[in-house]
Structure 1
Amino acid sequence: MQWIEISIVCERVATDEVTTLFDDYADNGIIEEDIDDQPNLIKLTLYAAPSLDTDMIKIDLEKRLTEANIDIKSIEAHILDESTWLNSWQQYIEPTEILPNIVIKPAWQDYDNVDNKTIIEIDSDISFGTGSHETTKTCAELLKDYSVSMELDKVTCLDIGTGTGVLLLVAAQLGIKHLVGIDIEEYAANQAKINCANNKVHAEIICGDLDCDFNGKANLILANLTVDPLKILLPQIGRKLEDNGILIISGIIDDRYDEIMPYINKHWHIIEERVAGPWHTFALEKL
Protein backbone atom coordinates (compact mmCIF):
# COMPACT_ATOMS: atom_id res chain seq x y z
CA MET A 1 0.00 0.00 0.00
CA GLN A 2 1.12 3.56 -0.68
CA TRP A 3 0.43 6.87 1.04
CA ILE A 4 0.56 10.51 -0.01
CA GLU A 5 2.87 12.51 2.27
CA ILE A 6 2.00 16.19 2.52
CA SER A 7 4.25 18.55 4.49
CA ILE A 8 3.56 22.19 5.29
CA VAL A 9 5.88 24.65 7.02
CA CYS A 10 3.97 27.45 8.72
CA GLU A 11 3.98 29.80 11.71
CA ARG A 12 3.74 27.84 14.98
CA VAL A 13 0.77 29.94 16.12
CA ALA A 14 -1.21 28.63 13.11
CA THR A 15 -0.84 24.97 14.13
CA ASP A 16 -4.42 24.59 15.33
CA GLU A 17 -5.93 26.21 12.25
CA VAL A 18 -3.79 24.24 9.82
CA THR A 19 -4.44 20.88 11.47
CA THR A 20 -8.17 21.64 11.39
CA LEU A 21 -7.93 22.29 7.66
CA PHE A 22 -6.17 18.93 7.31
CA ASP A 23 -9.10 17.02 8.84
CA ASP A 24 -10.46 15.69 5.54
CA TYR A 25 -7.12 14.11 4.68
CA ALA A 26 -5.37 13.27 7.96
CA ASP A 27 -6.68 9.74 8.43
CA ASN A 28 -3.37 8.69 9.98
CA GLY A 29 -2.73 11.65 12.25
CA ILE A 30 -0.30 14.53 11.92
CA ILE A 31 3.41 14.77 12.74
CA GLU A 32 4.63 18.03 14.27
CA GLU A 33 8.34 18.83 13.91
CA ASP A 34 10.36 21.81 15.09
CA ILE A 35 12.41 23.75 12.53
CA ASP A 36 16.08 24.13 13.48
CA ASP A 37 16.96 27.69 14.58
CA GLN A 38 13.44 28.93 13.77
CA PRO A 39 11.33 28.44 16.93
CA ASN A 40 8.41 30.40 15.46
CA LEU A 41 8.00 27.85 12.64
CA ILE A 42 6.69 24.28 12.65
CA LYS A 43 6.54 21.53 10.04
CA LEU A 44 3.25 19.62 9.87
CA THR A 45 3.11 16.36 7.95
CA LEU A 46 0.08 14.20 7.18
CA TYR A 47 -0.45 10.99 5.22
CA ALA A 48 -3.47 10.76 2.93
CA ALA A 49 -4.95 7.76 1.13
CA PRO A 50 -3.32 6.95 -2.23
CA SER A 51 -6.71 6.79 -3.95
CA LEU A 52 -6.66 10.58 -3.94
CA ASP A 53 -4.82 12.72 -6.48
CA THR A 54 -1.61 14.23 -5.10
CA ASP A 55 -1.77 17.43 -7.14
CA MET A 56 -5.45 17.97 -6.35
CA ILE A 57 -4.85 17.58 -2.59
CA LYS A 58 -2.04 20.14 -2.76
CA ILE A 59 -4.19 22.57 -4.75
CA ASP A 60 -7.13 22.10 -2.37
CA LEU A 61 -5.02 22.67 0.75
CA GLU A 62 -3.36 25.73 -0.78
CA LYS A 63 -6.83 27.14 -1.54
CA ARG A 64 -8.06 26.46 2.01
CA LEU A 65 -4.98 28.03 3.55
CA THR A 66 -5.33 31.12 1.37
CA GLU A 67 -9.02 31.49 2.24
CA ALA A 68 -8.14 31.19 5.92
CA ASN A 69 -5.44 33.88 5.55
CA ILE A 70 -2.77 31.48 6.81
CA ASP A 71 0.72 32.27 5.58
CA ILE A 72 2.75 29.16 4.79
CA LYS A 73 6.45 28.96 4.00
CA SER A 74 6.24 25.78 1.89
CA ILE A 75 3.96 22.89 0.93
CA GLU A 76 5.16 19.61 -0.58
CA ALA A 77 3.39 16.39 -1.57
CA HIS A 78 4.69 13.04 -2.83
CA ILE A 79 4.01 9.29 -2.74
CA LEU A 80 5.46 6.91 -0.11
CA ASP A 81 5.21 3.15 0.17
CA GLU A 82 3.86 1.71 3.44
CA SER A 83 7.20 0.70 4.97
CA THR A 84 8.63 4.17 4.40
CA TRP A 85 5.44 5.70 5.81
CA LEU A 86 5.66 3.64 9.00
CA ASN A 87 9.29 4.60 9.52
CA SER A 88 8.49 8.24 8.75
CA TRP A 89 6.36 8.83 11.82
CA GLN A 90 7.19 6.01 14.23
CA GLN A 91 10.75 7.28 14.56
CA TYR A 92 9.47 10.43 16.25
CA ILE A 93 7.55 8.64 19.01
CA GLU A 94 9.55 7.89 22.17
CA PRO A 95 8.55 6.55 25.61
CA THR A 96 7.11 9.37 27.71
CA GLU A 97 6.72 9.66 31.47
CA ILE A 98 3.25 11.16 31.38
CA LEU A 99 2.96 11.22 35.19
CA PRO A 100 5.52 10.40 37.88
CA ASN A 101 6.25 6.66 37.58
CA ILE A 102 3.77 6.14 34.72
CA VAL A 103 5.42 5.70 31.32
CA ILE A 104 3.67 5.55 27.94
CA LYS A 105 5.70 3.17 25.80
CA PRO A 106 5.09 2.74 22.06
CA ALA A 107 4.90 -0.97 21.24
CA TRP A 108 7.65 -0.62 18.64
CA GLN A 109 10.14 0.96 21.10
CA ASP A 110 12.27 -0.72 23.77
CA TYR A 111 12.32 0.65 27.31
CA ASP A 112 14.79 -0.30 30.03
CA ASN A 113 12.54 -0.19 33.07
CA VAL A 114 15.32 -0.08 35.67
CA ASP A 115 13.19 2.01 38.06
CA ASN A 116 10.24 -0.40 37.94
CA LYS A 117 7.80 2.21 36.66
CA THR A 118 4.26 1.43 35.54
CA ILE A 119 4.28 0.86 31.79
CA ILE A 120 1.33 1.60 29.53
CA GLU A 121 2.00 0.20 26.08
CA ILE A 122 0.43 1.87 23.08
CA ASP A 123 0.30 0.26 19.68
CA SER A 124 -0.96 2.50 16.95
CA ASP A 125 -1.20 2.72 13.20
CA ILE A 126 -2.17 6.35 13.61
CA SER A 127 0.45 8.92 14.44
CA PHE A 128 -0.94 10.54 17.54
CA GLY A 129 -2.07 9.68 21.03
CA THR A 130 1.13 8.31 22.57
CA GLY A 131 1.15 10.79 25.44
CA SER A 132 4.03 13.06 24.48
CA HIS A 133 2.03 16.16 23.56
CA GLU A 134 1.76 18.99 26.11
CA THR A 135 -2.03 18.83 26.08
CA THR A 136 -2.10 15.11 26.87
CA LYS A 137 0.33 15.50 29.76
CA THR A 138 -1.50 18.44 31.32
CA CYS A 139 -4.82 16.60 31.00
CA ALA A 140 -3.25 13.64 32.80
CA GLU A 141 -1.89 15.92 35.53
CA LEU A 142 -5.28 17.51 36.17
CA LEU A 143 -6.97 14.11 36.02
CA LYS A 144 -4.64 12.90 38.77
CA ASP A 145 -5.14 16.01 40.90
CA TYR A 146 -8.94 16.07 40.73
CA SER A 147 -9.56 12.33 40.99
CA VAL A 148 -7.53 11.94 44.19
CA SER A 149 -10.37 13.20 46.39
CA MET A 150 -13.07 11.09 44.67
CA GLU A 151 -14.40 7.65 45.53
CA LEU A 152 -12.70 6.02 42.59
CA ASP A 153 -14.76 2.84 42.61
CA LYS A 154 -17.88 5.00 42.07
CA VAL A 155 -16.41 7.41 39.52
CA THR A 156 -17.24 7.34 35.81
CA CYS A 157 -14.54 8.88 33.63
CA LEU A 158 -15.54 9.81 30.07
CA ASP A 159 -12.87 10.61 27.48
CA ILE A 160 -14.25 12.50 24.47
CA GLY A 161 -12.20 12.05 21.30
CA THR A 162 -10.37 9.19 22.96
CA GLY A 163 -8.05 8.45 20.01
CA THR A 164 -5.67 5.69 21.07
CA GLY A 165 -7.18 5.66 24.58
CA VAL A 166 -4.10 7.02 26.36
CA LEU A 167 -5.99 9.10 28.92
CA LEU A 168 -8.35 6.22 29.72
CA LEU A 169 -5.36 3.99 30.38
CA VAL A 170 -3.86 6.64 32.67
CA ALA A 171 -7.21 6.91 34.47
CA ALA A 172 -7.17 3.15 35.02
CA GLN A 173 -3.71 3.37 36.58
CA LEU A 174 -5.00 6.10 38.90
CA GLY A 175 -7.62 3.66 40.17
CA ILE A 176 -10.74 4.74 38.28
CA LYS A 177 -12.89 1.68 37.61
CA HIS A 178 -15.62 2.81 35.22
CA LEU A 179 -14.08 4.08 32.00
CA VAL A 180 -15.83 5.23 28.83
CA GLY A 181 -14.20 6.52 25.66
CA ILE A 182 -16.00 7.98 22.66
CA ASP A 183 -14.71 8.93 19.24
CA ILE A 184 -16.50 9.77 16.01
CA GLU A 185 -13.76 8.01 14.00
CA GLU A 186 -14.13 4.24 13.72
CA TYR A 187 -10.39 3.60 13.32
CA ALA A 188 -9.68 5.56 16.52
CA ALA A 189 -12.36 3.73 18.52
CA ASN A 190 -10.98 0.40 17.31
CA GLN A 191 -7.45 1.44 18.27
CA ALA A 192 -8.60 2.42 21.75
CA LYS A 193 -10.27 -0.98 22.16
CA ILE A 194 -7.05 -2.75 21.15
CA ASN A 195 -4.91 -0.71 23.53
CA CYS A 196 -7.28 -1.22 26.44
CA ALA A 197 -7.30 -4.97 25.80
CA ASN A 198 -3.51 -5.12 25.49
CA ASN A 199 -3.13 -3.31 28.82
CA LYS A 200 -5.83 -5.47 30.48
CA VAL A 201 -8.03 -2.46 31.12
CA HIS A 202 -11.81 -2.79 30.90
CA ALA A 203 -13.38 0.22 29.21
CA GLU A 204 -16.49 0.88 27.19
CA ILE A 205 -15.45 2.33 23.83
CA ILE A 206 -18.14 4.00 21.73
CA CYS A 207 -17.82 4.97 18.10
CA GLY A 208 -20.36 7.70 17.68
CA ASP A 209 -21.73 11.09 18.62
CA LEU A 210 -21.56 12.35 22.20
CA ASP A 211 -25.08 13.78 22.28
CA CYS A 212 -26.78 10.71 20.80
CA ASP A 213 -24.59 7.74 21.68
CA PHE A 214 -23.54 8.33 25.30
CA ASN A 215 -26.66 8.28 27.44
CA GLY A 216 -25.17 8.30 30.92
CA LYS A 217 -23.42 10.89 33.07
CA ALA A 218 -19.82 11.09 34.23
CA ASN A 219 -18.05 12.54 37.26
CA LEU A 220 -14.90 13.27 35.29
CA ILE A 221 -14.93 14.24 31.62
CA LEU A 222 -11.83 14.72 29.47
CA ALA A 223 -11.94 16.57 26.16
CA ASN A 224 -8.47 17.01 24.67
CA LEU A 225 -9.63 18.33 21.31
CA THR A 226 -9.19 21.61 19.43
CA VAL A 227 -11.08 24.89 19.56
CA ASP A 228 -13.62 24.19 16.81
CA PRO A 229 -15.06 20.94 18.25
CA LEU A 230 -14.93 22.40 21.77
CA LYS A 231 -17.12 25.31 20.68
CA ILE A 232 -19.73 22.79 19.51
CA LEU A 233 -19.41 20.31 22.35
CA LEU A 234 -19.18 22.50 25.46
CA PRO A 235 -22.99 22.87 25.82
CA GLN A 236 -23.50 19.13 25.17
CA ILE A 237 -20.83 18.17 27.70
CA GLY A 238 -22.68 20.07 30.41
CA ARG A 239 -25.62 17.67 30.00
CA LYS A 240 -23.32 14.67 30.39
CA LEU A 241 -21.48 15.86 33.52
CA GLU A 242 -22.72 15.16 37.04
CA ASP A 243 -23.59 18.30 38.98
CA ASN A 244 -20.49 18.04 41.17
CA GLY A 245 -18.30 16.75 38.34
CA ILE A 246 -15.11 18.10 36.79
CA LEU A 247 -14.52 18.79 33.11
CA ILE A 248 -10.93 18.91 31.84
CA ILE A 249 -10.45 20.46 28.40
CA SER A 250 -7.35 21.11 26.33
CA GLY A 251 -6.16 21.67 22.77
CA ILE A 252 -6.48 25.46 23.09
CA ILE A 253 -3.54 27.22 21.49
CA ASP A 254 -2.48 30.80 22.35
CA ASP A 255 -3.67 32.22 19.05
CA ARG A 256 -7.27 31.03 19.60
CA TYR A 257 -7.47 31.59 23.35
CA ASP A 258 -9.69 34.67 23.12
CA GLU A 259 -11.96 32.90 20.64
CA ILE A 260 -12.84 30.02 22.99
CA MET A 261 -13.20 32.02 26.22
CA PRO A 262 -16.82 33.21 25.61
CA TYR A 263 -17.87 29.58 25.11
CA ILE A 264 -16.22 28.60 28.38
CA ASN A 265 -17.48 31.55 30.40
CA LYS A 266 -21.09 31.12 29.22
CA HIS A 267 -21.62 27.75 30.93
CA TRP A 268 -18.54 27.02 33.04
CA HIS A 269 -16.59 28.19 36.05
CA ILE A 270 -12.81 27.96 35.68
CA ILE A 271 -11.31 26.14 38.64
CA GLU A 272 -7.79 26.02 37.26
CA GLU A 273 -5.81 26.81 34.13
CA ARG A 274 -2.44 25.35 33.21
CA VAL A 275 -0.20 26.43 30.37
CA ALA A 276 2.40 24.24 28.66
CA GLY A 277 4.18 25.88 25.73
CA PRO A 278 1.48 27.55 23.60
CA TRP A 279 -1.26 25.23 24.92
CA HIS A 280 -3.90 25.90 27.59
CA THR A 281 -5.66 23.26 29.70
CA PHE A 282 -8.61 23.98 32.01
CA ALA A 283 -10.35 22.26 34.90
CA LEU A 284 -13.98 23.43 34.84
CA GLU A 285 -17.21 22.98 36.76
CA LYS A 286 -20.75 23.81 35.74
CA LEU A 287 -22.17 27.21 36.66
Structure 2
Amino acid sequence: MPLVEPLRQSPNRFEAGDPTDALPPQSNTLIPGTARLWRESATFVVTPRAPGRALIVRLPAEALIARLGSIANLDRRPLSFAQGSGAICFTLLVVLIAQAPLLSQEQRQILGDCAFDAIVVWLRSEQTVRVGLSAHRRELLNAIYAYIERYLDDDQLCPRTIASSFGISVRYLHSLFTATGTTVAQWIMIRRLEAIRSELLLRGGDRGCLRDVATRWGFHDLSHFSRVFRQHFGTPPLTYIRQRTGSQRTEP
Protein backbone atom coordinates (compact mmCIF):
# COMPACT_ATOMS: atom_id res chain seq x y z
CA MET A 1 0.00 0.00 0.00
CA PRO A 2 1.72 3.22 -1.08
CA LEU A 3 2.26 5.79 1.62
CA VAL A 4 2.44 8.63 -0.90
CA GLU A 5 2.63 8.77 -4.69
CA PRO A 6 4.20 5.61 -6.15
CA LEU A 7 7.92 5.91 -6.75
CA ARG A 8 7.62 5.30 -10.49
CA GLN A 9 5.52 8.47 -10.76
CA SER A 10 7.64 10.68 -8.53
CA PRO A 11 11.26 9.68 -7.80
CA ASN A 12 11.58 12.44 -5.19
CA ARG A 13 9.12 10.83 -2.82
CA PHE A 14 9.03 7.48 -1.14
CA GLU A 15 6.54 4.69 -0.80
CA ALA A 16 6.05 1.93 1.71
CA GLY A 17 4.44 -1.42 1.19
CA ASP A 18 4.58 -5.13 1.82
CA PRO A 19 7.21 -7.70 0.78
CA THR A 20 5.27 -8.61 -2.36
CA ASP A 21 7.02 -5.55 -3.79
CA ALA A 22 10.46 -6.52 -5.11
CA LEU A 23 12.83 -6.99 -2.18
CA PRO A 24 16.50 -6.03 -2.61
CA PRO A 25 19.04 -8.76 -3.35
CA GLN A 26 20.16 -10.78 -0.34
CA SER A 27 16.88 -10.09 1.45
CA ASN A 28 17.22 -13.49 3.07
CA THR A 29 19.69 -11.88 5.48
CA LEU A 30 16.87 -9.99 7.21
CA ILE A 31 16.65 -10.62 10.94
CA PRO A 32 13.35 -10.25 12.83
CA GLY A 33 13.34 -7.13 14.95
CA THR A 34 15.86 -5.25 12.81
CA ALA A 35 15.89 -2.96 9.78
CA ARG A 36 18.33 -2.78 6.89
CA LEU A 37 19.17 -0.15 4.33
CA TRP A 38 20.27 -1.15 0.83
CA ARG A 39 22.45 1.74 -0.29
CA GLU A 40 22.32 1.05 -4.03
CA SER A 41 18.52 1.25 -4.27
CA ALA A 42 17.92 3.36 -1.14
CA THR A 43 15.47 0.65 -0.07
CA PHE A 44 14.80 0.42 3.64
CA VAL A 45 13.31 -2.82 5.02
CA VAL A 46 11.95 -3.15 8.55
CA THR A 47 11.25 -6.69 9.76
CA PRO A 48 8.91 -6.98 12.78
CA ARG A 49 9.99 -9.24 15.61
CA ALA A 50 6.59 -10.94 15.69
CA PRO A 51 5.48 -12.94 12.61
CA GLY A 52 4.16 -10.62 9.93
CA ARG A 53 5.00 -8.79 6.76
CA ALA A 54 8.17 -6.79 6.41
CA LEU A 55 7.81 -3.04 5.95
CA ILE A 56 9.47 -1.81 2.75
CA VAL A 57 10.27 1.88 2.38
CA ARG A 58 11.84 3.22 -0.80
CA LEU A 59 13.68 6.42 0.02
CA PRO A 60 14.75 9.20 -2.38
CA ALA A 61 18.46 8.35 -2.62
CA GLU A 62 19.74 11.80 -3.56
CA ALA A 63 17.89 13.52 -0.71
CA LEU A 64 18.97 10.83 1.75
CA ILE A 65 22.65 11.24 0.89
CA ALA A 66 22.32 15.04 0.89
CA ARG A 67 21.03 14.91 4.46
CA LEU A 68 23.26 12.15 5.84
CA GLY A 69 26.46 12.38 3.84
CA SER A 70 27.96 8.96 3.21
CA ILE A 71 25.67 6.09 4.16
CA ALA A 72 28.27 3.39 3.46
CA ASN A 73 28.57 2.56 7.15
CA LEU A 74 24.84 1.78 7.26
CA ASP A 75 24.70 -0.37 4.14
CA ARG A 76 22.97 -3.71 4.83
CA ARG A 77 23.85 -3.64 8.52
CA PRO A 78 21.15 -4.56 11.06
CA LEU A 79 19.58 -1.47 12.67
CA SER A 80 17.57 -1.84 15.84
CA PHE A 81 14.18 -0.21 16.27
CA ALA A 82 13.46 -1.58 19.75
CA GLN A 83 13.70 1.82 21.40
CA GLY A 84 14.42 5.51 20.88
CA SER A 85 14.10 7.12 17.47
CA GLY A 86 13.93 3.73 15.73
CA ALA A 87 10.86 2.70 17.73
CA ILE A 88 9.19 6.03 16.95
CA CYS A 89 9.90 5.59 13.21
CA PHE A 90 8.50 2.08 13.12
CA THR A 91 5.31 3.06 14.94
CA LEU A 92 4.84 6.13 12.74
CA LEU A 93 5.27 4.19 9.51
CA VAL A 94 2.91 1.40 10.54
CA VAL A 95 0.18 3.89 11.49
CA LEU A 96 0.63 6.01 8.36
CA ILE A 97 0.42 3.02 6.05
CA ALA A 98 -2.68 1.72 7.81
CA GLN A 99 -4.40 5.10 7.61
CA ALA A 100 -3.21 6.08 4.13
CA PRO A 101 -6.55 5.28 2.41
CA LEU A 102 -8.25 7.83 4.65
CA LEU A 103 -5.78 10.63 3.86
CA SER A 104 -5.88 13.19 1.10
CA GLN A 105 -3.03 13.60 -1.37
CA GLU A 106 -1.81 16.68 0.50
CA GLN A 107 -1.98 14.91 3.86
CA ARG A 108 -0.03 11.93 2.54
CA GLN A 109 2.60 14.26 1.18
CA ILE A 110 3.03 16.24 4.40
CA LEU A 111 2.98 13.19 6.65
CA GLY A 112 5.30 11.39 4.26
CA ASP A 113 7.78 14.26 4.73
CA CYS A 114 7.46 13.83 8.49
CA ALA A 115 8.14 10.11 8.20
CA PHE A 116 11.20 10.73 6.03
CA ASP A 117 12.47 13.32 8.53
CA ALA A 118 12.02 10.77 11.33
CA ILE A 119 13.94 8.13 9.39
CA VAL A 120 16.77 10.60 8.81
CA VAL A 121 16.93 11.32 12.56
CA TRP A 122 17.05 7.59 13.27
CA LEU A 123 19.78 6.94 10.71
CA ARG A 124 21.83 9.88 11.99
CA SER A 125 21.80 8.38 15.47
CA GLU A 126 22.87 5.03 14.02
CA GLN A 127 25.70 6.72 12.15
CA THR A 128 27.20 8.18 15.32
CA VAL A 129 27.30 4.68 16.82
CA ARG A 130 28.84 3.06 13.74
CA VAL A 131 31.53 5.54 12.75
CA GLY A 132 34.16 3.74 14.83
CA LEU A 133 34.73 6.63 17.22
CA SER A 134 35.60 6.04 20.83
CA ALA A 135 32.95 6.75 23.47
CA HIS A 136 34.73 10.03 24.31
CA ARG A 137 34.77 11.16 20.68
CA ARG A 138 31.10 10.24 20.19
CA GLU A 139 30.21 12.26 23.28
CA LEU A 140 32.22 15.20 21.97
CA LEU A 141 30.62 14.93 18.53
CA ASN A 142 27.13 14.93 20.03
CA ALA A 143 28.04 17.99 22.11
CA ILE A 144 29.23 19.73 18.93
CA TYR A 145 25.95 18.85 17.19
CA ALA A 146 24.07 20.45 20.09
CA TYR A 147 26.30 23.54 19.91
CA ILE A 148 25.61 23.93 16.19
CA GLU A 149 21.87 23.74 16.88
CA ARG A 150 22.15 26.43 19.53
CA TYR A 151 24.04 28.86 17.28
CA LEU A 152 22.64 27.84 13.91
CA ASP A 153 21.37 31.35 13.12
CA ASP A 154 24.71 32.97 13.97
CA ASP A 155 26.44 34.04 10.74
CA GLN A 156 29.80 33.68 12.54
CA LEU A 157 29.26 29.95 13.05
CA CYS A 158 32.08 28.12 11.29
CA PRO A 159 34.66 25.40 11.99
CA ARG A 160 37.06 27.89 13.57
CA THR A 161 34.55 29.26 16.09
CA ILE A 162 33.29 25.77 16.92
CA ALA A 163 36.78 24.41 17.49
CA SER A 164 37.67 27.40 19.66
CA SER A 165 34.56 26.92 21.80
CA PHE A 166 35.52 23.31 22.53
CA GLY A 167 39.23 23.93 22.99
CA ILE A 168 40.22 21.69 20.09
CA SER A 169 42.00 22.29 16.81
CA VAL A 170 40.13 22.79 13.55
CA ARG A 171 41.96 19.74 12.20
CA TYR A 172 40.70 17.59 15.08
CA LEU A 173 37.17 18.92 14.53
CA HIS A 174 37.32 17.95 10.86
CA SER A 175 38.57 14.47 11.78
CA LEU A 176 35.47 13.93 13.96
CA PHE A 177 33.16 14.79 11.07
CA THR A 178 35.17 12.89 8.47
CA ALA A 179 34.21 9.68 10.27
CA THR A 180 30.51 10.52 9.75
CA GLY A 181 30.84 10.97 5.99
CA THR A 182 30.19 14.72 5.96
CA THR A 183 32.08 17.91 6.77
CA VAL A 184 31.40 20.56 9.39
CA ALA A 185 30.37 23.07 6.74
CA GLN A 186 28.08 20.57 5.04
CA TRP A 187 26.42 19.72 8.34
CA ILE A 188 25.79 23.40 9.12
CA MET A 189 24.28 23.85 5.64
CA ILE A 190 22.07 20.77 6.07
CA ARG A 191 20.71 22.02 9.37
CA ARG A 192 20.14 25.54 8.02
CA LEU A 193 18.25 24.18 5.02
CA GLU A 194 16.01 22.23 7.35
CA ALA A 195 15.42 25.35 9.46
CA ILE A 196 14.60 27.33 6.30
CA ARG A 197 12.11 24.70 5.21
CA SER A 198 10.33 24.84 8.58
CA GLU A 199 10.15 28.64 8.46
CA LEU A 200 8.87 28.71 4.89
CA LEU A 201 6.14 26.21 5.71
CA LEU A 202 5.02 28.40 8.59
CA ARG A 203 5.04 31.59 6.53
CA GLY A 204 3.61 30.17 3.32
CA GLY A 205 6.30 31.77 1.22
CA ASP A 206 6.11 33.69 -2.05
CA ARG A 207 9.27 34.65 -3.93
CA GLY A 208 9.85 37.72 -1.75
CA CYS A 209 9.45 35.68 1.40
CA LEU A 210 11.75 33.02 0.00
CA ARG A 211 14.47 35.57 -0.76
CA ASP A 212 14.10 37.14 2.68
CA VAL A 213 14.33 33.84 4.56
CA ALA A 214 17.14 32.41 2.44
CA THR A 215 19.22 35.60 2.75
CA ARG A 216 18.76 35.73 6.51
CA TRP A 217 20.14 32.20 6.74
CA GLY A 218 23.17 33.02 4.62
CA PHE A 219 22.01 32.12 1.07
CA HIS A 220 22.41 35.35 -0.93
CA ASP A 221 22.09 33.79 -4.40
CA LEU A 222 18.49 32.65 -4.86
CA SER A 223 19.29 30.41 -7.84
CA HIS A 224 22.03 28.66 -5.87
CA PHE A 225 19.70 28.28 -2.90
CA SER A 226 17.00 26.77 -5.11
CA ARG A 227 19.45 24.20 -6.49
CA VAL A 228 20.72 23.23 -3.05
CA PHE A 229 17.19 23.03 -1.64
CA ARG A 230 16.09 20.79 -4.51
CA GLN A 231 19.04 18.46 -3.99
CA HIS A 232 18.29 18.28 -0.28
CA PHE A 233 14.50 17.86 -0.37
CA GLY A 234 13.92 16.59 -3.90
CA THR A 235 11.77 19.56 -5.02
CA PRO A 236 12.46 23.27 -5.74
CA PRO A 237 11.52 25.46 -2.74
CA LEU A 238 8.42 27.22 -4.08
CA THR A 239 7.08 23.99 -5.54
CA TYR A 240 7.72 22.30 -2.21
CA ILE A 241 5.84 25.01 -0.30
CA ARG A 242 3.00 25.15 -2.85
CA GLN A 243 2.42 21.41 -2.64
CA ARG A 244 2.22 21.50 1.15
CA THR A 245 0.27 24.70 1.71
CA GLY A 246 -2.06 24.79 -1.28
CA SER A 247 -0.42 27.96 -2.59
CA GLN A 248 -0.54 28.55 -6.36
CA ARG A 249 2.70 30.52 -6.58
CA THR A 250 5.24 29.51 -9.19
CA GLU A 251 8.98 29.05 -9.19
CA PRO A 252 11.24 32.03 -9.88
Q: Which has the higher contact order (CA 8 A, sep 6+)?
A: 2
Question: Which is richer in strand?
Answer: 1
TM beyond 0.5: no
TM-score normalized by structure 1?
Answer: 0.26
Question: Which is richer in helix?
Answer: 2
TM-score normalized by structure 2?
Answer: 0.29
